[in-house]
Amino acid sequence: MTGISQVAYQVMWNRLISVVEEQAQALVRTAFSTSVREAGDLSAGVYNEAGQMLAQAVTGTPGHVNAMADAVGHFIRRIGRETMAEGDVYITNDPWEGTGHLHDITIVTPSFRNGVLIGFFACTAHIVDIGGRGFGADANSVYEEGLYIPIMRLFDRGAVDDTLIRIIRGNVREPDQLVGDIYALATCNEIGHRRLIDMMDEFDLTDLSGVSDFVLTNSRKATLERINALTPGTADGQMRIDGFSNPVDLRVKLTIEKDRILSDWKGTSGLDKKGINVPLVYTKAYACYALKCAIAPEIPNNAASLAPFEITAPKDSIVNAVHPAPVALRHVIGHMVPDTVYDALDKLLPDLVPAEGAGCLCNFQVSLRPRTDAPAPEDARRSEVLTFNSGGSGARPMLDGMNATAFPSGVMTMPVEATEQVGPVIIWRKELRPDSGGAGKTRGGLGQYMDVGAREGHEFDISAMFDRVDHPARGRRGGQNGGATKIGRSDGVAMQGKGKQFVPHGCHVEMSFPGGAGYGDPADRDRADIARDLAGGYISAEYASEFHGFSAQQIADIQARATKGEVF
């Protein structure tokens, strides 16, 4: 087919996005782990023959897909293009050539048409266990964090590497889940390949060179137009967060200039002794995501639309950790990168970016076992249960923050029913946390209360992965801070925000997840919005009085109307 029109290429571009979205949804439907099925902690993408990302699925996380954008190049270099064959499938969980830690499995499949290599499909999923110390911040090096799988063949011309599968099964706590997820990843790539071939048949394409050039050329042009429409300038951003045993300072210098935006992380804290360090690939993923959201949100993600955002960081800083630094909880720091970028961007482009939010996911993993302080019932069993949860996002210049919504990751909160189904865990409480959203002209999103325990006859370790305990989300332009994280045992024993901690039989853990910060002066908030918040239970009478000056009589009138069922 010759003389393909621009309209036809645009249709093909849209089709590619649909192809990878179907690829991602196939993974959601077939994955074994709740982190994939329920939370959507995954990514999927299609690449040209050179390994450049052409399209990513809408379903998935920026940390995965933006990091995975660089991964295929590593696979081509390690495997060797000349050795690739139909039926091959490749695998890794390399933190520095994948997506940042050992708990993400990346699968890459070469796509052939009529015996010629035309491109690649790749996907990533977070898995529940990879052995080692388990998912948490406790390790002192990456060697302790689990099984390392270098870039290698999972399938060689259609034949699975049974030795690799046996090694994986022998080193993890949940072998059926993990191996099931690996096969699901490989299968979703195959589905993407089939849909791509269908498209190429329909448009009579022999390769992807034409559509690739169209996608990348137009994406780069559109992104540069957005950047060059901005006023050039430089500004600094900073954020202090909890860290593990000592606070961490994130610092960035943001420079807008012709054809690019530079993010330089010089001055950021050095490596931590524990597993909260971030490989540069993950820092790049979230710094690029923050800038794209603010400047060019409507341009689809691909290699060309990401290229003008240049990220640098000093080696052995906490945002550029190199091997063998422990990196299991790289998301705890990495998810704070966008709000640090926005602290700088707000000085260059006022009234555009939101206030700070909870940032990192409020994750925890529960390692359950039969009680050891007394005889356990016969049906007591060992189990690993991972659950993803969210605090509130920051208030936006014209809109309130979103309650219990993960920004920047976009990972969904896991339903209680799905969590309790995979192991002997009980979620005693899960509800929105009133007053946790910072006051402002627009209010921060609410965090959550969550209490977790074990079924009768079990004790457990909980691996906490929280931040914002000592450093809550900061308000912007006069807005108030969001609520801080709290964690403790039901018997009154204090607990740390990070690390594996023991919970004896009969106890449960009580958690308060952080709220997003407010934007603008609380005195400027619309009175009707305050009344709606009070009637809906988002804020208390004390909050309405302290931050918005409502009198006792005004509060009583609103509460009386709410009791009558009036709509605000």
The reply to whether 201 falls in a domain is yes
Given phi > 0 = left and psi -120 to 50 = alpha, else beta, which region is 351? left
Please state, in angstroms and rounded to a whole number, the distance separating the CA atoms of residues 65 and 288.
11
Residues 478, 531: one domain?
Answer: no
The reply to whether 236 falls in a domain is no
Across 90-94, 145-149, 479-483, 563-567, least confident range: 563-567
How confident is residue 3, by pLDDT bands cut at 50, 70 and 90? confident
Residue 341 parent element (H or E): helix 337-348
Please state, in angstroms and rounded to a whole number, the distance separating the CA atoms of residues 489 and 481.
26
Instruction: Give the tens place of pLDDT for each residue, 23-41.
Output: 999 999 999 998 998 989 9
Domain boundary among 199, 220, 241: 220
pLDDT, position 2: 56
Residues 414, 561: one domain?
Answer: no
The reply to whether 321 falls in a domain is no
Sign for the CA dihedral angle at 121, 126, 127, 130 comes to: positive
Domain boundary among 220, 241, 275: 220
Residues 556, 466: one domain?
Answer: no
Measuring CA to CA, which residue among 447, 338, 441 is closest to residue 399? 441
Residues 44, 190: one domain?
Answer: yes
Measuring CA to CA, which residue among 395, 342, 427, 373 is closest to residue 525? 395
The reply to whether 244 falls in a domain is no
Which tokens is 201 given?
A: 């048949």
Sign for the CA dihedral angle at 208, 210, 213, 219 comes to: negative
Average pLDDT estimate for 168-192: 97
The reply to whether 264 falls in a domain is no
Please state, in angstroms and rounded to a whole number, the distance separating the CA atoms of residues 251 and 337.
9
Q: Per the omega criterion (within 30 degrees of 0), is the bond before 375 cis?
A: no
Instruction: Give the tens place of pLDDT for each residue, 300-352.
Output: 999 999 999 999 999 999 999 999 999 999 999 999 999 999 999 999 999 99
Which tokens is 328 given?
A: 């299991």
Strands 260-264, 309-312: pairing kind: parallel
- Comparison of pLDDT for 4 and 403, the residue scoring more: 403
How confident is residue 60, by pLDDT bands cut at 50, 70 and 90? confident
The reply to whether 56 falls in a domain is yes
- Phi, psi values for residue 245, rounded to 5°: -105, -15
Q: What is each CA distance from 521 to 442, 447, 528, in whole angstroms? A: 8, 21, 16
Please state, in angstroms and rounded to a whole number, the distance separating the CA atoms of residues 71 and 234.
31
Residues 401, 540: one domain?
Answer: no
Residues 63, 195: one domain?
Answer: yes
In degrees, to the nearest 5, what angle opens at C-alpha 273 toward C-alphas 272 and 275?
80
pLDDT, position 562: 86
Residues 545, 413: one domain?
Answer: no
Instruction: Give the tens place of pLDDT for each residue, 121-160.
Output: 999 999 999 999 999 999 999 999 999 999 999 999 999 9
Please state, in angstroms and rounded to a whole number, the distance separating the CA atoms of residues 537 and 423.
33
Q: Which residues are CB-contacts of 541 (< 8 A; sequence separation ≥ 6)?
A: 534, 550, 552, 555, 559
Residues 510, 446: one domain?
Answer: yes
pLDDT, position 1: 43
Amino acid at 71: A
Number of structural domains (the chain) is 3
Count Cβ atoms within 10 A of the Cβ of residue 25 and give its class: 0-12 exposed, 13-18 middle, 19 or more buried: middle
Residues 477, 401: one domain?
Answer: yes
Which tokens is 258 given?
A: 């012709």
User: Under a CB-based contact definition with an 8 Å cutoff, are residues 250 and 269 in contact?
Assistant: yes
Residues 368, 497: one domain?
Answer: yes
The reply to whether 54 falls in a domain is yes
Which tokens is 245 given?
A: 């045993």
Residues 207, 137: one domain?
Answer: yes
What is the greatest pairwise CA distance in the chain?
Answer: 78
Mean pLDDT value across the chain: 96
Q: What is each CA distance from 170 to 144, 176, 294, in whole angstroms? A: 16, 11, 45
Q: Per the omega criterion (within 30 degrees of 0), is the bond before 326 cis?
A: no
pTM, two decimals, is 0.96
The reply to whether 14 falls in a domain is yes
Residue 227 has pLDDT above 50, yes or no: yes
Q: Which domain holds residue 44?
A: 6-220
Residues 406, 521: one domain?
Answer: yes
Please state, in angstroms and rounded to a whole number, the distance separating the CA atoms of residues 204 and 115.
16
Strands 363-370, 458-465: pairing kind: antiparallel
Residue 113 has pLDDT above 90, yes or no: yes
User: Under a CB-based contact definition with an 8 Å cutoff, are residues 319 and 353 in contact?
Assistant: no
* Beta-carbon count within 10 A of 370 CB: 18
Q: Which residues are CB-contacts of 292 (< 8 A; sequence separation ≥ 6)?
A: 299, 301, 305, 306, 309
User: Under a CB-based contact definition with an 8 Å cutoff, are residues 397 and 354 in contact?
Assistant: yes
Please state, in angstroms and rounded to a whole number, the distance separating the CA atoms of residues 262 and 287.
10
Instruction: Give the tens place of pLDDT for each residue, 232-256.
Output: 999 999 999 999 999 999 999 999 9
Domain boundary among 177, 205, 220: 220
Instruction: Give the tens place of pLDDT for each residue, 414-449.
Output: 899 999 999 999 999 999 999 999 999 999 999 999
